[in-house]
Amino acid sequence: MAMAETPHLLLVDDERSIREPLAQYLTKQGFRVTQSGDAESARARLNAYSIDLVILDIMMPGEDGLSLCRHIRATSEVPVILLTAKAEETDRIVGLEIGADDYVTKPFSPRELAARIKVVLRRADSGGARQNGPDASAFSFAGWVLKTAERALVDREGVTVALSSGEYNLLHVLVTRPRQVLTRDQLLDLTQGREAAAFDRAIDNQVSRLRKKIEPDPKNPQIIKTVWGGGYTLAAEVTRL
Amino acid sequence: MSRSLLPKSLPGQLMLLVAILLFVAQAINFALLLNGRRQLRTAQFTIPAVNRVLDSVEALRLGQPIDDRRGIRQSNIGPLPAIPPHHHDAEALEKMLRKALNDNGYQPGIIATRIAPSRAGPRPPTAQKRPRLRRSINELRIAVELPERGWLNIRAPWPGNDNFIFWQLIFQTAIIYMVMLIPMFWIGRRIARPLGHLADAARYFDPSRPAAPVAERGPGDVRAVIAAFNQLSERVTAMLDEKDRMLGAIGHDLRTPLAALRVRIESVEDDGDRERMAAIIEEMNRTLEDILSLARLGRPSEAASDVDLAALVDAVVEDFRDLGADVSAEEAPRTRIRLRPSLMRRAIRNLIENAVKYGGGAEVRLIDDGARVNIEIADRGPGIPSDRMADVFDPFTRLESSRNRDTGGIGLGLALARAIVREAGGDIVLANRDGDGLIATIRLPRG
């Protein structure tokens, strides 16, 4: 699927008060949006249309979003973004475990959602068959484990090392693209999809803060390496957990 | 005996009570038995002895010979030994003899009695007939002075001392103690052990971790209490489940219109207006999360884990700095502690937020003194009047009288922060700074 075409989104939410204005907004942002008020009609539309991405509310009467997400993952490669509430953290973890690509927390900024949709679509597009893969509930690299639902880093001894939102977003971008050289612009662009926190501060600053937390010797970094003239790269083997 | 020496447990108290009661009962028995023996002695030994004295005196008067083999003889010398040692029945016996002699028309002089160990020799026939009294190895010696006829000395059998009865009684008591107290101890334990389990179950009742019901054991009454407790804990757990469901529904029902509103305001043309609206929605959402967290805190869903507290504080500070707030922090070494990270993060965030809101900025320090870890959050604001220090922790309390939306919040932040820290076993202490400003300190116990 080429990005030049208008991406076709399927928006599944039982709340009309959210679904309709959101569909309107996303249409204005240049997407084609098909709406669906429950899991059953969503299945029908998934079969009827060539959908590029599904936006899925977790809490729905009848068959819930998680069950539908599982069904989508079992039958197709269509990326899924979950709409969750903060209180439903366990649902979020389950959602990522069963293969959702991302999530936003209600109430969310439609701009942020649009940005993430673009990131996920680009990711699906660039790698073709989900090469970068959906988000995972945890990534393991160089002795560390990055937990996505808790947005926390756990060391070898099992001690949680908290990250600021900016640090987390940057590290998340890096571990989902190991051994790829990412320029500062690319990093800014990729982290923008996340919460508003990261943009104000220079990427360099975030990188040096991250190095202080995860490198055994921050002055001689071995995990996040600087590529002269290029940018940064995560020089470690990453395992999805 | 000091009170602390008294047993506190049910089996101990039961056994002590039964032991005391048994002892009293045995003492009464013992007294009755001794009295009975005295009466027996009178009937079996004293009366025959008196009769024999009377017979002998009568025989002497009639000039008949006295049968020496029966331990009676007449002599002209006094009683042997002359001064009889005291024994406790002597007076009664002497009185009885004198009365009997007087009744028969004799006027005896001195009457002396003495108990002595039996001499080897012919046993008095009365003693041989009764095997139970084989131990009566003593003899009673009576000396009666008959005026003008000299002394009449009589030897009569007399039961041995009562020591053996005493030992018999102790032996008997010991057996009764054993027979009674061992089952008593068993019964006491049978009641006390399930009660102990029940007490433990009540003490460590944790609604967030459903425990197996306490096994119904022991006597019926105890079983009934345990069954009632199990039902109670089930009801409490069910109520808390219901509360959680209700809070979830409230959260969902309030978040949905907020989310709808948040989507709708994207169509507002004026950037400034839209941003203010978004900020208000964000704040309402935060307040909602605070209320729900506070309501759920009795049963937190997040598990405690090992956390680097220095990194946690640093992450919160960094989030504020990313948003442009004037928050500075001293770098601290890795500080490993066990707590619920998301909740503690929220507590720290609420305190820094207050400092930024009321004091224009915050200086954060982490101090580890080995036994405790303190997180100090200082600001340069107006501080808090000392008489209002306690009030600020009350939910929905704010110090300014106006509920100005600009300063935001409804005063839930501090209440939630303290509830979180207390749940972790610590506390929050507020103090005014020398000069200006306030220091809020989160104190957390180590380990």
Looking at the structure, tell me whether residues A116 and A148 fall in a common domain: no
Q: Give per-residue pLDDT as tens, A179-229.
A: 888 888 888 777 765 444 445 457 888 888 889 888 888 888 888 988 887
- Is B283 an interface residue toward A (CB < 8 Å)? no
pLDDT at B130 over 80: no
Say if residues A19 and A26 touch (Cβ distance below 8 Å): no
Q: Residue A109: its chain B contacts at CB < 8 A?
A: 262, 278
Whole-number Cα distances in Å, A216 to A142, A171, A233, B16, B334: 10, 16, 17, 68, 13
Residue B79 lies in a domain: yes
Q: What is the pLDDT of residue B132?
A: 47
Cα separation of A60 and B255, whole Å?
14
Q: Give B249's contacts (C-beta < 8 A, 6+ positions apart).
A: none
The predicted model gives A99-105 an average pLDDT of 83
Q: A92 pLDDT exceeds 70?
A: no
Answer whether A21 touches B (CB < 8 Å).
yes
Domain boundary at A126, A150, A179, which? A126
Q: Are residues A34 and A90 in the same domain?
A: yes
What's the confidence (pLDDT) of residue B70?
Answer: 57
Q: Strand, coil or helix: what is A87? A: helix
Q: What is the pLDDT of chain A when averaged over all its residues?
A: 82
Give per-residue pLDDT as tens, B11-53.
Answer: 888 888 888 888 898 889 888 988 888 788 777 777 887 887 7
Domain boundary among A99, A126, A153: A126
What local confidence, expressed as pLDDT, does residue B68 receive? 56
pLDDT score, position A86: 62
| Segments forming the whole domain that contains residue A75 | 8-126
Range of the domain at B132: 3-165
Which whole number is the average pLDDT over B335-356? 90
User: Could A107 and B261 be called an inter-chain contact, meaning their C-beta atoms sit closer than 8 Å?
Assistant: yes
Q: What is the ipTM of this complex?
A: 0.75
Write the pLDDT tens digit of every residue in B73-90: 666 555 555 445 556 667
Residue B202 has pLDDT above 60, yes or no: yes
- Choose the final residue of a domain: B118, B140, B165: B165
Calculate how close chain A gets to B10, using CA atoms only, in Å: 47
The residue among B262, B288, B322 with the most chain A CBs within 10 A of its CB, best to mutate, is B322
- Helix axis angle for B220-264 and B271-296, nearest 10°, is 180
A169 found inside a domain: yes
What pLDDT digit, counting tens, does each position of A140-183 carry? Answer: 998 899 988 778 899 988 899 999 888 888 898 888 888 888 88
% of chain B exceeding 90 in pLDDT: 16
**CATH number for the domain harbouring residue A96:** 3.40.50.2300
Residues A55 and A43 sit within 8 Å (Cβ to Cβ): no
Are the beta carbons of A152 and B266 separated by less than 8 Å?
A: no
Interface of A with B in 99-128 (CB under 8 A): 106-111
Please list every residue in chain B whose beta carbon sits closer than 8 Å to the beta carbon of residue A207.
none
Residue at a domain's end among A75, A105, A126: A126
Total of domains in chain B: 2
User: A115 and A19 in one domain?
Assistant: yes
pTM passes above 0.90: no
| Closest CA–CA distance from residue B323 to any residue of chain A (Å) | 6
Q: What is the mean pLDDT of chain B?
A: 80
The answer to whether A152 contacts chain B (CB < 8 Å) is yes
Judged by CB atoms closer than 8 Å, whether chains meet at A201 and B322 is answered as yes
The 10 Å CB-count burial string (b at 16+, else e) for A198-223 is beebebeebbebbbebbbeeeeebeb
Are A145 and A193 part of one and the same domain?
Answer: yes
Per-residue pLDDT at A124 exceeds 50? yes
Q: Do residues A42 and A104 lie in contact, with contact meaning Cβ atoms separated by under 8 Å?
A: no
Residue A133, domain member (yes or no)? no
Task: Give the pLDDT score at A28.
Answer: 92
